[in-house]
Structure 1
Amino acid sequence: MFDLFKKQFIDVIEWTESTNGVLSYRYPTADKEIQTGAQLTVRDSQMALFVNEGNVADVFSPGRYELSTKTLPILTSLLNWDKAFKSPFKSEVYFFSTREQLDQRWGTQQAITVRDKEFGVIRLRAFGTFAYRVEEPTTFHQKVSGTREKYTTAELDGQLRSIITTGIATTLGEAKTPFLDMAANQTKLSEALKESLDHSFWDYGLKLTSFLVQSVTLPEELQQYLDKQSSMNLVGDLKKYAQFQAADAISAAAENPGGMGMLAVGMNASGVIGQAFGQGLSGDSGAKQEDPFVILEKLQTLMEKGVLSKEEFEAKKAEVLKRIS
């Protein structure tokens, strides 16, 4: 009988996480009372919360505590305890895991509609990963986990996915930067979405520690446009590109006897590169300059006849090429 009576009192309160994905755990106190002076152990990456008849009382960060009126000031006030109170008491105790919940998956099961300032209404799919942790146990207890014996990431997953999907549509719809500019840089897109989602997570007592966009699937016509835009960026300034190509061709042809004549025919047949050469040679728009092909042919002839040395030819050729670069 004495042993049975003794079991009604709790002397040690602690929680050892046995599985991953548990966000909150209610310590079993049914039909039991907590002994004044009992030891509360809150491990690293945990927090503990005392609740009395639905009223949130004291919160404990990692450490070891001896439970008394001194360490339970809010509960003492709620129950009107005297400072010399030594009797056993009733209270619910909840533990919360504050470890980061890593590699959480998110994705848009259905295409979401986004209004873009450049392309109007577009539909897209996206997916990636995120991580979060319980930051404010009082808020999490009141808004999410409640009095459940155990609350897991799996139970919260659906709500977080809804928050993310809504956040994506809202953020991209209000963004000043065109969507395609952000989609081309997934790092910036991830940062923009995380910033917009931070507040929504905090409303539930959670801290969003990372948010990554791994893939964005666009409508086919927009994907083709993005591919073309990327190609144009690689080419850059087409005028300078054409001038560079032409100068490189002259340099190669000058190394081969007879090559200048064939090059001239090819250059005259190319409207784009020919125009680039004309612009490159127009240092003085009012004065007509001699054709560089003719100059290079003459220089090569002089070198072949021994009038110019190889070094002199290279120096003169460089002067001509400098005028058109």
Structure 2
Amino acid sequence: MGFFRNQLSNVVEWEEFRDDMIFWKWSNREIKKGSKLIIRSGQDAIFLNNGKIEGIFQEDGEYNIESEIIPFLSTLKGFKFGFNSGMRVEVLFVNTKEFIVKWGTQNPILIPTPQLPGGMPIRANGTFNFKVSDYVTLIDRIAGIKESYLIEDVKIRITSVLDQLLMKWITREGKDIFNLQANAFDISKGIREDLDMEILSSGMTIIGFQIMSFNYPQEIQDMITKTASHGMIGDLQKYQQVSITDAMASGKLQGSGTASDMAGMMMGMNLANEMMKNMNQGQSSQSGAGGGQAQSANSSSAQGGTKPNFCPNCGAKNEGANFCPNCGQKLG
């Protein structure tokens, strides 16, 4: 036993831990008598022998491999450490946390639309969430041939099919091409289900998929904004007046006299015309009502044979005479 007392004990642990690493394999080394296994929070340790799972250990802590681990391994429980060699196995450490990944379309997606024969070029961005769900499949499809696996590896796989899925779910059921954000939830749900099927075959699952925004070409975005502004104001002339006023107030409409002065004159003329139009309409309605009353008074005056109090020609006051004392107009 003195031979083992002089041997160095191995520590089996995730030596190269990174937050963006999905799994890491401890391999090509001997586990010797007195070795320790260290499992940290958020990790699972899987003992492998010839590519097959011997045991899975999920509780974090420090374990004596000979006394606390080997007795639970499926085919190695009868293994005894020899005097000349240790035990060769692989230990796969798996990150059990939920990963959140940002994504964005690499190129614009051309969505078919009758308004644009070549299609509407649209970009999108958001996040997706995934985690390891099936260790057997993970080892069979990925960990059996790789020493480690990163979030970036999953992201590359996801983004390679994302453009086709976005086109599929945007065009499905005739989604409004100019108001995609209103349908973002339904589009996201469909894409999540398709992506889940895509990576289930690798032992992982998509927990969530979110679309943060859709981005139109600048010309289309300007058109959408302007259309919304017209709808809010409701009158093109008022929209023009507001646009000129905003431009002058913000300093965007500048110049030494010519451009800005002409714009100011046009705006002033438009406003003056509107005021005159409103005044004329008000006077027309008042004169219509007043004319009716005067006509009625003159009619009753003529019928009664009385003289008018004022001359209809010059407006001079009359004291009951038959002729105007000022201009000679006949009054009776």
Q: How high is the TM-score relative to the length of structure 2?
A: 0.55
The answer to whether structure 1 residue 87 and structure 2 residue 89 are counterparts is: no
Q: For 1:95 and 1:124, how far apart are their aligned partners in 2?
A: 41
Q: Distance in 2 between matches of 1:132 and 1:98?
A: 10
Is the 8 Å Cα contact of residues 39 and 67 (structure 1) preserved in structure 2? no
Match of 2:60 among 53, 59, 63: 63
Letter of the structure 2 residue corresponding to residue 59 of structure 1: I
Do the aligned partners of 2:170 and 2:187 also contact (CA within 8 Å) in 1? no
Residue 50 (1) aligns with residue 43 (2) = no
SS at match of 1:109: coil
- The answer for unaligned runs of 5 or more in structure 2 is 82-86, 236-274, 291-332
Larger radius of gyration: 2
Which residue in 2 is equivalent to 1:180?
178
Q: Deviations over 1:74-125 (max 9, x none)?
A: x32xx6x6xxx241443211001123334x3322222223346997843322
Aligned residues: 240
CA distance in 2, matches of 1:68, 1:31: 16
Partner of 2:203: 205
Q: Is 184-193 or 153-162 further displaced after alignment?
A: 184-193
The answer (yes or no) to whether the contact 2:46–2:54 under 8 Å persists in 1 is: yes
Provide the residue aligned with 1:21 in structure 2: 20
- How is 1:96-111 mapped onto 2 (pairs within 5 angstroms)? 96-102=94-100, 104-111=101-108
Deviation, structure 1 residue 185? 6.0
Report % sequence identity. Answer: 24
Distance 2:99 2:4 in 1: 42
Deviations 1:176-214 (CA, angstroms, capped at 9, x unpaired): 533433235656654554454333343333343444434
Contact 1:135 1:206 in 2 (8 A): yes
The 1:166/1:192 distance shift into structure 2, 3 A limit, reads same
Q: d(CA) in 2 for partners of 1:144 and 1:115?
A: 37
CA distance in 1, matches of 2:226, 2:20: 44
CA deviations on 1:122-166 (whole Å, 9 max, x unpaired) are: 332223343433333333333234343332223443222213333
Secondary structure of the residue aligned to 1:162 is: helix
| 1:32-51 aligned within 5 A | 32-33=30-31, 39-51=36-48
Secondary structure (helix, strand or coil) at the match of 2:179 reads: helix
Residue identity in the other structure for 2:20: G
Distance in 2 between residues matched to 1:165 and 1:183, nearest whole Å: 17
Query: Residue in 1 aligned with 2:7?
Result: 6
2:138/2:202 contact within 8 Å kept:
yes
Question: Structure 1, residues 274-305: CA drift from partner, whole Å, max 9, x if none?
Answer: xxxxxxxxxxxxxxxxxxx77xx99xxxxxxx
| Aligned partner of residue 140 in structure 2, secondary structure | helix
Give 1:26 shift.
0.9
Cα distance change on mapping 1:193 and 1:40 into 2, 3 Å: same
Q: Matches of 1:21 and 1:94 in 2, distance apart? A: 16
1:317 aligned partner: none
Give 1:63 shift: 3.5
RMSD: 4.4
CA–CA distance in structure 1, aligned partners of residues 281 and 167 of structure 2: 53
Partner Cα distance (1:203, 1:117) in 2: 38
Q: What CA distance in whole angstroms lies between the structure 2 residues aligned with 1:142 and 1:105?
A: 27
Contact 1:45 1:99 in 2 (8 A): yes
Corresponding residue for 1:322?
A: none
How do 1:241-256 residues align onto structure 2 when only pairs under 5 Å count?
none
| 2:310 counterpart residue number | none
